[in-house]
Amino acid sequence: RLGADFLVQLTNDGWFGRTAQPKQDMALAVFRAIENGATLVRGTNTAISGFSTRGAG
Q: What structural domains and CATH numbers belong to the chain?
A: 6-52 (3.40.1620)
Nearest residue to 28 (alpha-carbon basis) of 15, 11, 14:
11
- pLDDT for res 8: 93
Taking only Cα atoms into account, the Rg of the chain, rounded to an integer number of angstroms, comes to 12
pLDDT digits (tens, 9 = 90+) for 5-38: 889 999 998 888 889 999 999 999 999 888 888 8
For position 35, what pLDDT does the model report?
87
Q: Residue 55: is its pLDDT beyond 80?
A: no
Residue type, 40: L
What is the rounded end-to-end Cα distance, in angstroms, of the chain? 24
Of 51 and 55, more confident: 51
Question: Does residue 57 carry a pLDDT above 50?
Answer: no
Q: How far is CA 34 from the centre of its chain?
A: 10
Q: How far apart are CA 36 and CA 53, in angstroms?
A: 12
pTM of the complete model = 0.77
